[in-house]
Amino acid sequence: MVAMFHFDVISHLSFLPLTRNAYLFVDFFFVLSGFVIASNYRSRLAEGFGTGRFLALRLGRIYPLHLLTLLLFIPIDAAKDGIGPNLLQAIVTNILLLQGLGVNPQNWLNFASWSISAEFSAYVIFAAVVSRIGPTIWPWLLPIIAGPAVLATISPDGMNATYDYGLVRCLYGFALGVVSFDLRERFPVLRARLVPSDETWLETASFMLVVGYVSVAGSSVTLQVASPLVFTLVVLVFAREAGAVSRRLTVPFMLMIGTLTYSIYMLHPLVRAVARAVLMVVERHGHMDLFVSYALSSGHEPTKVVSINGSLWLGDLLQIAMLLLTVLLSVATYRFVEEPGRNWVRRLMDRRKVGAVRSAQPAFDT
């Protein structure tokens, strides 16, 4: 849905309220990430897992693909805007994962990577809080309270904050995920199974709530800012994995899509950039009008969006084709970039752990 939101094509799909507000699904990811990270690492970090090891493993998960897309976007941005101070600043901040922390005046290079920058900062904060304070929830109440206030009153784009207030947005959702995991652990009622039919109704209602809520959230800053709270409820429901909807989401095809989501997210801006470049060449040499000035998102200035002979149906086909191409490329990047990078860092951490254990063992003369 985030990819469809960013493809900027005049189509039936783009005009769906769910698509026009689909940037909010990034906040779903932040909530889910906080829940998953807390469930996998909170106890281990509190018991001495090691902050450095944790952050190295997280870098191994996100950095290889980030670096690849960064390298691919450098010539694209250089061709579009030239080689200058902005490009140099963009490269440095992207390499250091600072591009989502308010240090740049706009999104440069892979515009989706701002969330990876903010997410890694959330990992650093999570590791510091858990290792020093422990598995308590009170430090996470600050971003939950302050985040909505900042996003509603200070952020120029409200909840659609990226390079400027992206860290605030990320920590708000991430903290809700951490707290929701804590609540699930503290209160067994949140884990207690209902009869299967009730679980299915609960999951179906949650799914419809997300679709309906996101579809109407664009009309109100308050609704947009409250969306992570809705996503938190849905995460708690589906964490039970007890209904028919959950079973449908664990069929092989859906598991494959779930595996590819990070690649899909990081590659869709590249597919968008290449598709627009190709269409610009066709427009110039074929004497066709393939772009119009239009604001697909309410409250934003009109930009050049793709319009295939003014046909909404052709726009739908183009968006679907771009999405399928993104998925196909994601299969390759997962197999040859994500998985090898993650496994290499894991092996490196395992070797260091073994070496540390051996060096700590006392030596005996024979």
User: Confidence class of residue 365 from pLDDT cuts 50, 70 and 90?
Assistant: very low
Asked whether the predicted pLDDT for residue 308 surpasses 60, the reply is yes
Q: Which two tokens stand for residue 106?
A: 């706009």
- What does pLDDT average to over the chain? 93
CA 112, 341, 70, 172 dihedral sign is positive
How much is the pLDDT for 361?
60
Q: What is the pTM of this model?
A: 0.93
pLDDT in tens, 222-239: 999 999 999 999 999 999
How much is the pLDDT for 305?
95
Q: What's the rounded Cα separation, in Å, for the pair 312 and 323? A: 16
pLDDT in tens, 321-354: 999 999 999 999 999 999 999 999 999 988 877 6
Domain boundaries, the chain: 1-346
How much is the pLDDT for 298?
67
Asked whether the predicted pLDDT for residue 364 surpasses 50, the reply is no
Please, which residues have CB within 8 angstroms of residue 207's CB and are 6 or more apart in sequence?
234, 245
Backbone conformation region of residue 50, classed left if phi is above 0, alpha if psi is from -120 to 50, else beta: left
